[in-house]
């Protein structure tokens, strides 16, 4: 059968050379051949870029001069992929995401069976085979009977958000609704991005598509985050104040859920003073600032800034 969709993988990498090599080998072994693979090297200093050049010369390597975080890496990589490879679908993942051989094929089959879908997420497991709590899907609240039925008929689940740990996203939807907000750096960037696209379209979870998320520990997002807790708090405040992804009632629902999770995280933490400091700083910065534009965020990286500007200028 001819391949209609063009699938381009975008992998964001930072100082995990061995895992990156494993991820690229897994992408090369997909039963559904990918049309291109873009790797964004976020200024790694462990030889990741050289390893890609040596072992995977066909990979399109984008090397950044500073660490722009996961959010910046995906924004830069998606803009480059959209301009250089003309994809139908972008397959987004971190460098510790190892797809099983049929992961791409199952995603393609699922989205092509449901034309209204713009985002599809894989089932994410840990190294021991159990579902990873950090990437557990939740059914879309108040999903319509028609959408629920269509998803079930394709052995999928209707969802309201998705994770950058194997997110399959329509290139047309990105061109229409924009790239991730790079200034988030880490945390909540995929939630903001996916809810923004899915506010007016459909998203699904595809359990037949399986990837392994090789985190050091098995845990959910409330696992003791240390100083990174600041980004969770600041970005959630930014999301509630400025994102177009959530309706008012959704902001109330997800906001209440976030507060409960923050309390639980601090209670369980072995470094409570660090988390309390992150909470105070995150609330303060989230309340008095807003994310800068993507072109401003990449102002010191002209090639990236120009690519991002061109993609976002073409939004419908």
Distances (CA, A) of 186 to 121, 176, 190: 19, 23, 9
What confidence score (pLDDT) does residue 218 get? 74
What confidence score (pLDDT) does residue 1 get? 34
What confidence score (pLDDT) does residue 117 get? 97
What confidence score (pLDDT) does residue 2 get? 42
What confidence score (pLDDT) does residue 221 get? 63
Say if residues 19 and 214 touch (Cβ distance below 8 Å): yes
Enumerate the domain spans of the chain.
7-220+290-313
| pLDDT tens across the length of the chain (316 residues) | 345 689 999 999 999 999 999 999 999 999 999 999 999 999 999 999 999 999 999 999 999 999 999 999 999 999 999 999 999 999 999 999 999 999 999 999 999 999 999 999 999 999 999 999 888 888 999 999 999 999 999 999 999 999 999 999 999 999 999 999 999 999 999 999 999 999 999 999 999 999 999 998 776 666 779 999 999 999 999 999 999 999 999 999 999 999 999 999 999 999 999 999 999 999 999 999 999 999 999 999 999 999 999 999 977 5
What confidence score (pLDDT) does residue 266 get? 95
- Domain at 7-220+290-313: CATH code: 3.90.550.10
| Single pTM value for the model | 0.95
Token digits of residue 79: 């803009």
Region for 226 from its dihedrals, namely left if φ exceeds 0, alpha if ψ lies in -120 to 50, beta otherwise = left
Say if residues 78 and 60 touch (Cβ distance below 8 Å): no
Say if residues 165 and 211 touch (Cβ distance below 8 Å): yes
């Amino acid at each position: 059968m001819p391949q209609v969709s063009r699938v381009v993988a975008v992998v964001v990498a930072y100082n995990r050379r061995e895992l990156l090599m494993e991820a690229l080998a897994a992408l090369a072994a997909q039963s559904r051949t990918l049309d291109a693979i873009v790797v964004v090297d976020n200024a790694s200093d462990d030889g990741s870029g050289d390893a890609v050049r040596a072992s995977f010369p066909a990979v399109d390597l984008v090397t950044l001069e500073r660490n722009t975080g996961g959010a910046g890496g995906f924004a830069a990589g998606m803009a480059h992929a959209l301009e250089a490879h003309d994809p139908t679908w972008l397959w987004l993942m971190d460098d510790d995401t190892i797809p099983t051989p049929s992961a791409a094929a199952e995603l393609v089959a699922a989205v092509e069976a449901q034309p209204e879908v713009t985002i599809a997420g894989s089932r994410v497991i840990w190294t021991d085979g159990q579902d990873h709590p950090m990437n557990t899907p939740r059914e879309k609240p108040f999903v319509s009977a028609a959408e629920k039925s269509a998803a079930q008929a394709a052995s999928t689940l209707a969802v309201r958000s998705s994770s950058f740990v194997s997110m399959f996203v329509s290139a047309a939807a990105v061109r229409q609704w924009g790239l991730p907000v790079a200034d988030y750096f880490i945390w909540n960037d995929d939630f903001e991005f996916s809810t923004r696209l899915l506010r007016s379209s459909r998203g699904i979870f595809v359990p037949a598509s399986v990837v392994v998320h090789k985190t050091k520990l098995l845990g959910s997002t409330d696992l003791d985050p240390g100083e990174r807790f600041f980004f969770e708090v600041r970005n959630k405040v930014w999301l509630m104040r400025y994102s177009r992804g959530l309706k008012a009632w959704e902001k109330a629902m997800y906001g209440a859920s976030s507060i409960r999770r923050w309390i639980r995280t601090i209670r369980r933490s072995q470094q409570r003073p660090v988390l309390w400091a992150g909470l105070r700083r995150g609330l303060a910065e989230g309340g008095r600032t807003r994310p800068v534009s993507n072109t401003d965020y990449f102002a010191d990286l002209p090639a990236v800034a120009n690519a991002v500007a061109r993609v976002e200028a073409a939004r419908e």
